[in-house]
Amino acid sequence: MRVVVTGATGNIGTSTVEALTADPRATSVLGLSRRGPGGRAERDDGTEWAEADVTDTDLVPLLHGADAVIHLAWLFQPTHRPAVTWDANVVGTTRVLDAVAEAGVPALVVASSVGAYSPGPKDRAVEESWPTHGWPGAAYSREKAYVERLLDVFEARNTGTRVVRIRPGFVFERQSAAQQRRLFAGPLVPGRLIRPGRVPVVPDLPGLRFQALHSADAGRAFALAALGDARGAFNIAADPVIDPDVLADLLGARTVRLPARGVRAALAAAWNLHLVPASPGLFDLALQVPIMDTARARAELGWTPRRTAREAMADFLEGLRTGAGRDTPPLAPGAGGPARAREFATGAGHKP
């Protein structure tokens, strides 16, 4: 099978390409990325590469002859300019769907998210039928929910195309740490100090319970979806659910009960001053996303995470301490410039 992957150099994209090249059913893999593959182009794994921006590149020639397309391209920043992320994520996805239809690609796998779900319970797991209306206060959630509606229309109009929606929890790995610090924490966070004993307390906030998984496990789920015959939506996450107690144990800290309103106010002030890139809307979203039931992915995709959520978090925290990354433009540890000068110069939350 020939598989084309958009956003192939990002956190999930690199792991998806690795999972595809390790599976003999994938006879050809084409990775598309906005800024090229970096050092990955030099690897002798059989992957082809092309620079392509989903917002303006003619995608149809790149998709001709593909047996499946995995759409992972997504822009998280700038949160201060939601029109920019809307153009990349919603308009860009629309262009990918149009190109898939015009090129006659028989299978499409799209990265949705737990963030596409409407607010839900933290004390029980919801299945894929839970409403996907998102949380209107966060651009990320609005865009993921809108993409779900785009897929509804696409499926109705292209009944011959097999469509899979993968809805991951929070995806972590050691090599994504530098990028995720830039995207969500900003240049002022001292990653090297995030080690056991250095962080004294973890806030115990109402609703702070979320699911996580390792990027390698996410990549395998996308590869299985593309190479198999499954269709529909699939939740993916590993056990256990991450809560303040798990975080405190990982950091050698203690939990302190705090009101969510006070923490949100501090974050909002920092965001408004461009000191951190993560918006208060993302904070609200994290406290409201439901816990997902992953039984369908295990039964129909044949997917089981090989690492626990705790192991994924520990791997990520180690990456923060060491400034880890990969040899692609989005994940490069030095992308912020010497002493993070480029991050300070452009302002937290700029378009990377």
Name the band, by pLDDT with cuts 50, 70 and 90, for residue 134.
very high
Q: Tell me the mean pLDDT in the region 4-27.
A: 97
One-letter amino acid at 336 equals: G
CA-based torsion, 138, 209, 300, 220: positive or negative: positive
> Which tens digit of pLDDT belongs to each residue from 65-105?
999 999 999 999 999 999 999 999 999 999 999 999 999 99
Q: Which domains does the chain have, with CATH numbers?
A: 2-171+212-239 (3.40.50.720), 172-210+242-289+307-346 (no CATH)
Name the band, by pLDDT with cuts 50, 70 and 90, for residue 193.
low
Measured CA to CA, the distance from residue 86 to residue 74 in angstroms comes to 10
Measured CA to CA, the distance from residue 12 to residue 230 in angstroms comes to 20
CA-based torsion, 215, 282, 329, 250: positive or negative: negative
> Which tens digit of pLDDT belongs to each residue from 224-234?
999 999 999 99
CA distances from 180 to 8, 119, 145, 225 (A): 16, 24, 22, 25
In this prediction, residue 341 carries a pLDDT of 66
**Half-sphere exposure (Cβ direction) of 9: Cα atoms closer than 13 Å:** 24
Most confident of 24-38, 169-183, 299-313: 299-313
CA-based torsion, 259, 260, 265, 269: positive or negative: positive
Is the per-residue pLDDT at 348 higher than 60? no
> What pTM did the predictor assign?
0.95
Measured CA to CA, the distance from residue 199 to residue 150 in angstroms comes to 43
